[in-house]
Amino acid sequence: NLSTKLDRAFKTLKGQGSITDVNVASTVKEIRRALIDADVNYKVAKQVTDKIKEEALGQDVLISVSPGQLFIKIVSDELTKLMGGSAEPLSTEGSPAIILISGLQGSGKTTFSGKLASLIKKQGKDVLLTACDIYRPAAIDQLKVLGEQVGVDVYAEPENKNAVEIANNALDYAKKNGKKVVIVDTAGRLAVDEQMMDEIAALKKSLNPTETLFVVDSMTGQDAVNTAKAFNDRLDFNGVVLTKLDGDTRGGAALSIRTVVEKPIKFISYGEKMEALDVFHPDRMAQRILGMGDVVSLVERAQQAFDEEEAMRINKKIRKNQFNFEDFLSQLQQIKKMGNIKDLIGMLPGMGKMVKDLDIDDNAFKPIEAIIKSMTPQERKNPELLDGSRRRRIAQGSGTTIQDVNKLLKQFNDMRKLMKTMNKFQGGRRGMPTMN
C-alpha cells in the first residue's frame, strides 16, 4: 500500500532532520501515482502533489513515526483542505424549497431522490417527490415504489410529456398540501447531449431551485470530471452527489470534480438501500483516497507524544539548572511547528489588530537558530566554553555579527539566571512552564 511505498521512498531520510528537496522528489512521484490509481484526474493529481511538495519541505521528521507516515498525514490534510475542509450543508429553506436533481442516466438520480426524501422526512419536514423523467414509463414506477418505501408522496403525470409543466404543477400541489420540500427527479441520457441539457436548463430556469444537485457515478472514474464540467457549464449547479461508493471505488472522482468545477460535494451514496446515504466529509474521503485507514491518527498520536516527551525532558533540565543551547533550539523548533508566529500571537484575545502593525515574522528566529547551529555540540551543552575566538567563529559560520552572538549569549544567560531564581522559589519541586 501507499504507506509502505512511501516508507521505502523515504529510507534515505531516516536520521536526517527534515524533509528536503532531494528526498521529497521520489515520494511525490509515489503519491501522484497513488492518486491516479484512485481515479484522480491526471492534471488534478499533478496540481495536488505540487502543493503537497511545498507543504512538506522543511517539516521536522519525528523519531517515533516513520517519515512515510508523516508524509501521509501532510497529504491527507492537504486533500481534506482541497475538498472543502468540512461538510457543506444542503439548504431546505423556502416555501417550498425546491431541489432539482440532474445527471446522466444510470448515475443514481432516482435512487438518490428517494434517499434524500427519506432523510429530509426524518428531519421533520414534509416532502414531495416529483417524477419528471418523461421518457421511460418505468422511471415513474421506480420513483413510486421508492416513495412508498420511505413514506413520501410522489407527484406524477404519466401522460404529460412536458417536464417543465409537470414540475410547476407539482409545485402547486406542494403549496396546496403543505409540503415544505419538493424534490424533482429528472431524465438522463447515457451521454451528455443537447436535448437533455436544454431540458434540465429549462427546468432550472422555470423553477429557480433552492439547490440544483448534480449526481455522478464515482465508478466512471476519469469520465466523471468531464460530465461534471459539461453539466456545470450549462447548469451552474451548486452541489454534487457521488454515488456507488460501495464496492472498492476509491473516490478519486471527489477530488477531481471538486478541483475542476469548484463546487462542494454534499452527499455520498453507497448502496441500493434507502439508508445508504451520508453527508460528504472531506477528511474521511481523503483517507479513503489514500487507502490508509488509521495511519493519520497514528501520526497524530505520535506527534503529540513527541511534544509531551520533549516538554517533560526540558522541564527536568530546567529544574536541574542544566538548560542549554540544545534545549533552547529544541524549544524554538517546537514553537515553529505550532505554526506561523504572527498567527499564533494574533490568536490571543485583543492582539489581532495589534499584530498587523507589528513587524514580527518567523524570520526573527532565523539568526538565532543559525547561531546555535553553528556551535559545536560541546559548546551547546556548555555555553561557558564560548570565549572570544569561538564567538568570532560562530558569527562567521552563521552569517551574523559578533554583536548578534553576544546579544544571544547575554539573553540566554539572563534566562538561565531567571530559571535558577524560579527554581529556588519553588524549592526545585516544579519547573517553569514550558513554551508549549
Binding residues for GTP: 103-110, 185-189, 243-246
Q: Is 349 helix (H, G, I), strand (E, B) or coil?
A: coil
Cα three-residue angle 18-21-26, rounded to 5 degrees = 100
DSSP 383: G
CB contact at 8 A, 243 and 219: no
Q: Is 107 in the site for ligand GDP (CB under 6 A)?
A: yes
* Binding piece for ligand GDP, criterion CB under 6 A, among 92-100, 105-113, 316-324, 389-397: 105-113
Distance between CA atoms of residues 260 and 224, nearest Å: 11
Q: Is 34 helix (H, G, I), strand (E, B) or coil?
A: helix
Instruction: Give the residue with the Cβ less far from Mg ion, 138 or 350.
Output: 138
Phi, psi of 210 (to 5 degrees): -65, -40
Per CB under 5 A, residues contacting Mg ion are 109-110, 139
The cell for 276 is 445508504
Closest C-alpha to 74, from 10, 139, 141, 168: 10
Instruction: Give the residue with the Cβ less far from ligand GDP, 219 or 355.
Output: 219
* x-or-dash string of contact with ligand GDP, 251-290, rule CB under 6 A: ------------------xxxx---x--------------
For the CB of residue 133, give the shortest distance to Mg ion in the complex, in Å.
5
Cα three-residue angle 170-175-177, rounded to 5 degrees = 90
Binding-site positions: 103-110, 185-189, 243-246
Which among Mg ion, ligand GDP, none contacts residue 332 (Cβ within 5 to 8 A by kind)? none
Instruction: Give the residue with the Cβ less far from ligand GDP, 190 or 424.
Output: 190
Instruction: Give the residue with the Cβ less far from Mg ion, 109 or 244.
Output: 109
Distance between CA atoms of residues 225 and 257, nearest Å: 5
Please report the sign of the dihedral spanned by the C-alpha atoms of residue 237, residue 242, residue 244, residue 248: positive
Helix-, strand-, coil-residue percentages of the chain, each rounded to 5: 60, 10, 30
* Cβ partners under 8 Å of residue 78, min gap 6: 48, 51, 52, 55
CB contact at 8 A, 329 and 373: yes
* Binding piece for ligand GDP, criterion CB under 6 A, among 3-11, 60-68, 99-107, 160-168: 99-107
Task: Give the total of residues touching ligand GDP (CB under 6 A).
Answer: 17
Closest C-alpha to 372, from 343, 344, 336, 332: 332
Helices 67-82 & 21-37, crossing angle to 10 degrees?
60
Which among ligand GDP, Mg ion, none contacts residue 173 (Cβ within 5 to 8 A by kind)? none
Q: Would you list the DSSP string of 195-221?
A: HHHHHHHHHHHHH--SEEEEEEEGGGT
Residue from 108, 147, 251, 282 in contact with ligand GDP (CB under 6 A): 108
Residue from 68, 103, 282, 431 in contact with ligand GDP (CB under 6 A): 103
Instruction: Give the residue with the Cβ less far from ligand GDP, 22 or 191.
Output: 191
For the CB of residue 195, give the shortest distance to ligand GDP in the complex, in Å.
16
For the CB of residue 106, give the shortest distance to Mg ion in the complex, in Å.
8
Residues 178-207 binding ligand GDP (CB under 6 A) are 188
For the CB of residue 356, give the shortest distance to ligand GDP in the complex, in Å.
49
Instruction: Give the residue with the Cβ less far from Mg ion, 243 or 256.
Output: 243
* x-or-dash string of contact with ligand GDP, 331-370, rule CB under 6 A: ----------------------------------------
For the CB of residue 142, give the shortest distance to ligand GDP in the complex, in Å.
6
Instruction: Give the residue with the Cβ less far from ligand GDP, 203 or 368.
Output: 203
DSSP 246: S
Q: Contact residues for ligand GDP (CB under 6 A)?
A: 103, 105-111, 188, 243-244, 246, 269-272, 276
